[in-house]
Structure 1
C-alpha cells in the first residue's frame, strides 16, 4: 500500500495543509481517498483524477467530508468525468448530510446518488475493496464515527484512528499494525483539551505502545496546537518511530 497525505490539519484547514484526506493506492485496487475535508479536492488533483477515485469517510464532521460537494461538481460537469457512479462508503446518513451541503436552495436536499454510489458502513464486519480488506471499528467520537483497519493481500496493515477519544476499541483497532495513523489534536494539558473526543499526543503514543505497532504517524493536528509538543508527548510514550505527517508526504506500508 502507498498512502499520500492530501491534508492533515485538524478540525479546520490550516495555512499549510487542507483538512483530513489520505489517498491510498495498492496493486489491483482502485484509488481510495479516506476522508475528504476542505481543500482535499484541490490537493487530490496533483496525484489522481478526481473522477476516478472512491471515497471512504470516517465520520460526517465538516473537516472530514465537506469537499464532497466540490467532487459532485467535478463528476457532473467535467468534460472528462467517467460515466457511472463512484463508490462512497460512510456512516449512517451520508447521502442526506452531503445532499444538504450540496443543495442550491436552503431546506432542499441534492440527490447525490446520481453521481455517488453511497454504501453505509457498520462495525459489524469487514468488507473487500480491490486487494484490500477494510474493517470499520466504531470509536469514541460524536457523531457516529469509525476508525479503519486496512489489510493488504500481502498482510501489511494500516490502522487509522479517525477522530476518537481514548478507548479500548482504538487500541484493538491498532493491534500489531505496521503503521498507525493516529489523530493527535491536543497536548495532554487538562486545561486545554476537551475530555473524551480527541487524542492528545500522550494518548496517541500510549495507543501505539499498547497496540505494539511498528510505526506511529501523527495527524489531525490543528493550527492552534504545537506540533513539536505533540510529537514530544508521543515519543515519551512510544519508543518506535514517530513522525507527524505533512501534506504531500508519501508513506509506503
Structure 2
C-alpha cells in the first residue's frame, strides 16, 4: 500500500501545496485500486499529476470544511460535463451527514438529487467499517468543531491512519494503535495556539501516537503556510522516540 501526498497545507492552499488530499493505492485482483482521503482546495489539479480522477475508486471526506472537501465541486464538473459524455456512471463517496446538500450549496445552482447523479454517497458514523477493493476502512469520530472523522485504512497487512482535523481526544488511541504510518494533524503550535477542540500540535500528535502504542512512523501534515514546519517537528520530537517525518506534496510513501 502506497500513499501519495496530493496536498498537505492546513486550512487553505499554500504556495507549495494544495490543501488536504491523500491518494492511497494498492494492487488487488490484477489492477491498482485507488482511494482519496479528502479533496480540499486546490487538490483536484495536483491529483491529475498522479492519476486520472475517473480512475479513483472512491473518495472519503473527513469533514465538511472547505480545505477538505471543496474540490468535490470541480470533480463534479469534470465527471458530468467532460466532452463525449460522463467519465463514469457514479463515483462512490463517503462523508458526514449532509454531504450531498453541503456540496450542492457550495456549487451554487444544483440540488442534492443532481449531485447524487454523479456521486454515490454513503454516510459516515463513528466506528463503522467498510471495504473498497483491497482496503478495509474504519471511520472514527474525532474532536473538531464540526462532525469530523479520522480514517484507519488497512490493506496488504499494513495500516495507514489519517487523523483528519482533531484535537487530542480518547478516540485517537484506538484510531492510531499499531499503525504502520500515522498522518497526523499538526496545524497548531504549542504555546501559541491555545484554543481547545480544533487541532493538534506536533507535540500533542506525538503524545497521542505514543499513548496509542505500536505506531511505527509518525508523519505531521495539515501545517498551514504561516507555520514553520521545522518548529512543529521539533515540538513533536521532544516526545516521539524515533524520526518525526513531515508530509511533502507530491511525495509517495510506502506504508
Q: TM-score, normalised by structure 1?
A: 0.94
Match of 1:155 in 2: 157
How far the C-alpha of 1:125 sits from its partner, in A, is: 2.2
1:97 matched to 2:98? The reply is no
> Following TM superposition, by how much is the alpha carbon of 1:114 offset from its aligned partner in structure 2, in angstroms?
0.9
Q: Deviations over 1:58-105 (max 9, x none)?
A: 011111000111001100112364331010111110000001111238
Instruction: Give me the whole-angstrom Cα distance separating, in 1, the residues matched to 2:34 and 2:194.
Output: 35
Residues 49, 183 of structure 1: alpha-carbon distance in 2 compared, 3 angstrom cutoff: same
User: Once the 2 structures are TM-superposed, how far is the Cα of residue 42 of structure 1 from its aligned partner?
Assistant: 0.2
Say whether residues 1:61 and 2:103 are aligned partners: no
**Greater CA drift, 96-105 or 218-227:** 96-105
Structure 2: how far apart are the matches of 1:110 and 1:163? 29
Map of 1:200 onto structure 2: 201
Return the alpha-carbon distance in structure 2 between the equivalents of residues 171 and 197 of structure 1.
Answer: 17
Give a deviation string over 1:15-41, Cα, whole Å, max 9, x none: 100000001111126311110001110
Tell me which of 220, 223, 231 is aligned to 1:229: 231
* Structure 2: stretches of 5+ with no match in the other structure: none
Please report how far the alpha carbon of residue 110 of structure 1 lies from its aligned counterpart in structure 2 after TM superposition.
7.0
Structure 1 runs (4+) greater than 4 angstroms displaced = none
For each residue in 1:102-134, what CA deviation from the matched residue of structure 2 results, as whole angstroms up to 9, or x when unmatched?
1238xx667211111011111142111111110
* Counterpart-to-counterpart distance in 1, 2:228 and 2:113: 39
Mapped to 2, the partners of 1:110 and 1:133 lie a distance apart of: 29
Residues in 2 aligned to 1:188 and 1:83: alpha-carbon distance in whole angstroms: 46
Tell me what 2:75 maps to. Answer: 71
1:10 partnered with 2:10: yes
In terms of mean alpha carbon deviation, does 65-74 or 119-128 score higher?
119-128
Q: What does 1:78-117 align with in structure 2 at a 5 Å threshold?
A: 78-79=82-83, 81-104=86-109, 111-117=114-120
Matching residue within 115, 122, 126 for 2:129: 126
Aligned CA distance change for structure 1 residues 124 and 206 (closer, same or farther; 3 Å): closer
TM-score (norm 2): 0.93
State the alpha-carbon separation in 2 of the partners of residues 203 and 103 from structure 1: 38
Match of 2:53 in 1: 50
Q: Structure 1: how far apart are the matches of 2:81 and 2:122? A: 23
Asked whether the equivalents of residues 103 and 110 of structure 1 are also in contact (C-alpha less than 8 Å), the reply is: no
